[in-house]
Structure formats: C-alpha cells, structure tokens
Amino acid sequence: MKIPPKIKIGGHLFDVEYQSEEETGYEHSGSKLGWKNKIWLQKDMVQSKKESVLFHEILEELNYQHEFKLDHQVLSSIAEGFYQVLVDNNWLK
C-alpha cells in the first residue's frame, strides 16, 4: 500500500510524516498529534509495520473525535485485526 502524505479523518486533513527515534525522542512506532493534525511514523520500520501503525493512529483520532473512550489495548487489537483482514484478502496494493 502506498501511504499518502495527507489523510482526511473526520473532515480534518492530517499530514503523514516519517521520523526516526533520534528526531522525535520517542521510542514509539508512531504517534498522532491531533492538535497539529499530524501523524508520524518511524521511518526505519518495514512497510507492513508502517501500514499497521497508520491504521492504529487513524483509530486513535476517530476514538478522540467520537469520544468512544476505547483504551489503547483495544485500539491496538482492532487496528491489527483490521490490518490482517486487509492483507489476507489482498486489499492493500
């Protein structure tokens, strides 16, 4: 899957950026900065991890916008499960 440089989530345009741990100071594989409309992904990850983490961060933003109040573990599980369905059915190209 080609990850676009911009993604709309709930009508808001988010920039998708790539950074290293050294640049961010974080050990996370990605993060959503909702107040800046940015999603960043670790640039050194393999493509499948970038895609999976992107789905996770999109779910994080939807969780915030719609006040679902899902905890991080549930969001991670949903993102990985959804990613697996997309990959197993060859829906990402």
List the chain domain ranges.
Answer: 6-88
Q: What is the pLDDT of residue 59?
A: 96
Query: Would you say residue 27 has pLDDT above 80?
Result: no
- How high is the mean pLDDT of the chain? 92
Q: What is the mean pLDDT of residues 1-6?
A: 95
On whether the CB atoms of residues 21 and 42 are closer than 8 A, the answer is yes
For the chain, count helices (H), then strands (E): 3, 4
For residue 84, which amino acid is it? Q
Question: Tens of pLDDT along 32-67?
Answer: 988 999 999 999 899 999 999 999 999 999 999 999
CATH 3.30.2010 fits 6-88, yes or no: yes
For residue 20, which amino acid is it? S
